[in-house]
Amino acid sequence: MLTYTRGTLRGAAWLTTTALPVIAASAVAFVTTSEALAEFEIQESTVEKGRVELEYRGALHWGLPEPEFGPLRQSHEFEIQYGLTDRWAFSLIPDFEQSLGDSLQLTAVEGEGQYEIIKLRDNGLGLAFRGRYSQPIVGGEAEQISFGPILEWVKGPISLILDPLFTDQVGPNRTTDGLGFNYGWQLKYSLPRNWSLALEMFGNIEDLANSGSFNDQNHSIGPVLYYTFGKGNETEEGKRNRENEAADESESSLTVGLGLQFGLTEATSKTALKLNAQLEF
């Protein structure tokens, strides 16, 4: 996640000279590599008034199921989120895809609203609810709505995020009979010197009414390593304390995550490389 908040001129200078080149290099690496299919998203429950978030999600896949996807493919999401109040946040999300030998193509534009029900402060529990609408750009694809809770729990250096999401196709191009189901969860442990190690799992059932066998569904799991630039050594609890203190808003940080996902079914790519980056100042 790339996160932009109002800060000082010092923070802006750090952004332009240090953070943006790192992010740009990461994005170019994904655009110029030929294997990818989908993004892996872990959405946090917290909302902050006046905060603008710029998020990039991308993935590279090996061993894609054919002939539906072809031998090689990649996709990217760029999310722009604004905290309208201390509870409400709204997002605009353009989706891009690129097949082997083709140029990058805009495939859908999404809008999302998120409401924070229980605020996460220090150790404890956070709860939010989100809804999303997706308008496809490619002809013949169905419009889609998504909705579900975001559950986040923190205890010292350990954090757990659960992101279940129900989906439904709408409009004349729908191909499913009922709701679909996507999920993601993350169990993360904060290590010394700004490192964090996480285990993340993602899955997709396109139509719950006709879900088929487990092997026909998309499920993957794997580790992710995170590193934060621009902050002192801190645990997940310390990070939450900092985020709740207005005095720290001028500080700048960049968190980059790199991980692998291993497919658990025949319908899932055998291996996937995921990249996330979070910029905050």
pLDDT digits (tens, 9 = 90+) for 261-280: 999 998 888 898 898 888 77
Whole-angstrom Cα distance, residue 85 to residue 52?
A: 12
Is the distance from CB of 75 to CB of 55 less than 8 angstroms?
no
Question: Residue 219 has what pLDDT?
Answer: 95
- Structural domain spans, the chain: 3-280
Which tops the pLDDT comparison, 15 or 98? 98
Can you tell me the mean pLDDT for 126-147?
91
Residue 48 has pLDDT above 50, yes or no: yes
Worst-scoring range by mean pLDDT, 19-23, 24-28, 248-252? 24-28
Phi, psi of 174 (to 5 degrees): -65, 145
Residue 137 has pLDDT above 60, yes or no: yes
pLDDT band at 258 (very low <50, low <70, confident <90, very high): very high
Residue 139 has pLDDT above 80, yes or no: no
Q: Which two tokens stand for residue 214?
A: 């487990």
Residue 22 has pLDDT above 60, yes or no: no
Phi, psi of 208 (to 5 degrees): -65, -30
Which tops the pLDDT comparison, 213 or 4? 213
Question: Residue 153 has what pLDDT?
Answer: 97
Question: Residue 65 has what pLDDT?
Answer: 67
In this structure, what is the dihedral angle of CA atoms 42, 264, 65, 165, given to the nearest 10 degrees? -30
Q: Which CA distances in Å does 2 have to 77, 117, 239?
A: 12, 23, 16
Q: Which residues, including other chains, have CB under 8 Å from residue 228's CB and lie 6 or more apart?
A: 194, 196, 253, 254, 255
Whole-angstrom Cα distance, residue 77 to residue 213?
A: 29
Worst-scoring range by mean pLDDT, 16-25, 70-79, 131-140? 16-25
Average pLDDT in the chain: 79
pLDDT band at 189 (very low <50, low <70, confident <90, very high): very high
What sign results for the dihedral spanned by CA atoms 48, 238, 252, 249? positive
Which tops the pLDDT comparison, 106 or 73? 106
- Specify whether domain 3-280 bears CATH 2.40.160.40: yes
Is the distance from CB of 229 to CB of 253 less than 8 angstroms?
yes
Residue 13 has pLDDT above 80, yes or no: no
Which tops the pLDDT comparison, 188 or 18? 188
Is the distance from CB of 166 to CB of 181 less than 8 angstroms?
yes
Residue 12 has pLDDT above 80, yes or no: no
**CA distance from start to end of the chain:** 13
The amino acid present at 209, given as its one-letter code, is A
pLDDT band at 248 (very low <50, low <70, confident <90, very high): very low
Which tops the pLDDT comparison, 12 or 203? 203
Can you tell me the mean pLDDT for 82-90?
95
Worst-scoring range by mean pLDDT, 35-44, 95-104, 122-131, 247-256? 247-256
Question: Residue 30 has what pLDDT?
Answer: 41
Can you tell me the mean pLDDT for 246-258?
67
Which tops the pLDDT comparison, 134 or 176? 134
Whole-angstrom Cα distance, residue 54 to residue 279?
A: 8
